[in-house]
Amino acid sequence: MGEETDNRFAEMSSDEGSGTKAERLQLVAARAATCTACDLAATRTQVVFGDGNPEAPLMLVGEAPGMHEDATGKPFVGRAGVLLDACLRENSISRKHIYITNLVRCRPFTTESGAARNRPPTQEEINACRPWLEQTIDIIQPLVILCLGAPAANVLIHKGFKMSQERGQWFEGRYARYVAATWHPAYILRLQGDAYEAARRELVADIAAARQKVIEAKREPKLTLF
Buried b (16+ CB within 10 A) or exposed e, 208-225: ebbbebbeebeeeeeeee
- Which among 88, 51, 60 is positioned nearest to 208, based on CA atoms? 88
CB of 7 to ligand URA, least distance (A): 26
CB of 62 to ligand URA, least distance (A): 3
Q: Greatest CA separation found in the chain?
A: 60
Write out the residues near ligand URA by the rule CB under 6 A: 62-66, 69, 75-76, 78, 80-81, 102, 186
Sheet strands side by side (includes 51-52): 51-52, 99-102, 58-62, 144-148, 178-182
Q: Which is nearer to ligand URA, 57 or 81 (CB)?
A: 81
CB 62 within 8 A of CB 151: no
CB of 99 to ligand URA, least distance (A): 13
Q: Which is nearer to ligand URA, 121 or 177 (CB)?
A: 121
Please state, in angstroms and rounded to a whole number, the distance separating the CA atoms of residues 144 and 157. 12
Please state, in angstroms and rounded to a whole number, the distance separating the CA atoms of residues 155 and 186. 19
CB of 101 to ligand URA, least distance (A): 8
Q: Which is nearer to ligand URA, 137 or 186 (CB)?
A: 186
Phi/psi of residue 59, nearest 5 degrees = -115, 140
CB of 129 to ligand URA, least distance (A): 12
CB of 17 to ligand URA, least distance (A): 29
Please state, in angstroms and rounded to a whole number, the distance separating the CA atoms of residues 130 and 68. 22
Q: Which is nearer to ligand URA, 12 or 132 (CB)?
A: 132
Q: Which is nearer to ligand URA, 142 or 151 (CB)?
A: 151
Q: Which residue is nearest to ligand URA (CB)?
A: 62
**DSSP label of 171:** B
Q: Which is nearer to ligand URA, 16 or 51 (CB)?
A: 51
